[in-house]
Amino acid sequence: MSDMSAFDVYCQLDGIVSGSVFLDEPMARHTSFRIGGPAALYIECASVSDITRT
């Protein structure tokens, strides 16, 4: 199995989930203390089906 880059995973997830997928998203935007470095991938699911595998 080959290693996938964050960008490769981003491209795949962006076509699968109905929510939003962000690359290098600053976590400070999502925490109450407004601290945190970038997450390689940040996903906001629009529905439960986005996080379940069928």
Supply the CATH number for residue 18's domain: 3.30.43.10
pTM, two decimals, is 0.78
What residues make up the domain containing 45? 6-51
Confidence of residue 2 (pLDDT cuts 50, 70, 90): low
Question: Could you give the CA distance from residue 35 to residue 12 in angstroms, rounded to a whole number?
Answer: 28
The pLDDT tens digits of the residues spanning 10-52 come to: 999 988 889 999 999 999 999 999 999 999 999 999 998 888 8
Q: Give a yes or no: residue 1 inside a domain.
A: no
Question: Could you give the CA distance from residue 23 to residue 12 in angstroms, rounded to a whole number?
Answer: 12
Question: Could you give the CA distance from residue 8 to residue 15 in angstroms, rounded to a whole number?
Answer: 11
Question: Could you give the CA distance from residue 50 to residue 37 in angstroms, rounded to a whole number?
Answer: 25
Confidence of residue 53 (pLDDT cuts 50, 70, 90): low
Number of structural domains the chain divides into: 1
* The pLDDT of residue 1 is above 60: no
